[in-house]
Amino acid sequence: MDIVIIILCAYLLGSIPSALWIGMLFYKTDVREHGSGNLGATNTFRVLGKTAGLVVTVLDILKGTAAVLLPLIPALSNTGIHPLFIGFCAVIGHIFPVFAKFKGGKAVATSGGVLLGYNWPIFIIVLLTFLIALKLTKMVSLSSMIVAVVGFLYSIAYYIWTGDFYLMIIVGLMGVFIFYRHRANISRIKAGTEPKVKWL
Mean residue pLDDT of the chain comes to 94
Give pLDDT tens digits for 112-137.
999 999 999 999 999 999 999 999 99
Query: How many residues would you count in the chain?
Result: 200
Q: State yes or no: pLDDT of 185 exceeds 80.
A: yes
* Contacts for 28 with CB less than 8 Å, ≥ 6 apart: none
* pLDDT grade for 199, boundaries at 50, 70 and 90: low
Please answer whether residues 196 and 139 qualify as being in contact, where contact means their C-beta atoms are separated by less than 8 angstroms: yes
Nearest by Cα to 114 from 178, 53, 161, 46: 178
Could you give the percent of the chain with pLDDT greater than 90? Answer: 88
For the entire predicted model, the pTM comes to 0.94
Mean pLDDT of 30-54: 92
Q: What pLDDT band is residue 80 in, cutting at 50, 70 and 90?
A: confident
CA distance between the termini of the chain: 48
Using a 10 angstrom Cβ sphere, with 0-12 exposed, 13-18 middle and 19 or more buried, the burial of residue 189 is middle
CB 19 within 8 A of CB 41: yes
Q: Which amino acid is at 85?
A: F
69, amino acid identity: L
